[in-house]
């Protein structure tokens, strides 16, 4: 699971990975400039779509999707075990990823936080 936080002073969205997710994703955190965040949606259905080719991380169908994937030229970063808690963060001008698909504790609150933060940026 990822903990999402916003640092408005620095203009950064941070996704901090918890517990074994650090091992599955091969990352402990991602920092994305708010200027590169286009929006966020709560999208449980995304986890049922094809993942593409795993570039780094872990994939056990039906259990966990974590790490870097490529699909139709798109670069995705996943950290999902429970699709019902999946949030999709769309990125623009991203250096590394086009979308982040992350499991969070409270998807609606996370989407609200991100949407409010980018509307003020």
Its pTM stands at 0.94
| Confidence at residue 48, expressed as pLDDT on a 0 to 100 scale | 86
* Structural domains of the chain, with CATH: 2-120 (2.30.29)
Q: What is the mean pLDDT of each run of 10 residues along the chain (121 residues)?
A: 96 96 96 95 92 94 94 95 96 89 98 92 58
| Confidence at residue 3, expressed as pLDDT on a 0 to 100 scale | 97
| Confidence at residue 121, expressed as pLDDT on a 0 to 100 scale | 58
SS (H, E, C) the chain: CEEEEEECCCCEEEEEECCCHHHHHCCCEEEEEHHHEEEEEECHHHHHCCCCEEEEEEEECCCEEEEEEEECCEEEEEEECCHHHEEEEEECCCCCCCEEEEECCCHHHHHHHHHHHHHHC
């Amino acid at each position: 699971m990822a903990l999402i936080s916003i640092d408005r002073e620095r203009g950064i969205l941070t996704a901090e990975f918890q517990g074994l997710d650090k091992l599955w994703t091969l990352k402990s955190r991602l920092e994305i400039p708010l200027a590169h965040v286009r929006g966020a949606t709560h999208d449980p259905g995304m986890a049922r779509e094809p993942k593409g080719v795993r570039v780094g991380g872990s994939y056990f169908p039906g259990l966990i999707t974590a790490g870097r994937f490529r699909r139709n030229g798109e670069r995705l970063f996943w950290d999902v075990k429970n699709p019902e808690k999946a949030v999709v963060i769309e990125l623009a001008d991203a250096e590394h990823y086009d979308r982040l698909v992350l499991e969070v504790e409270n998807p609606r609150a996370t989407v609200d936080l991100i949407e409010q933060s980018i509307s003020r940026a």
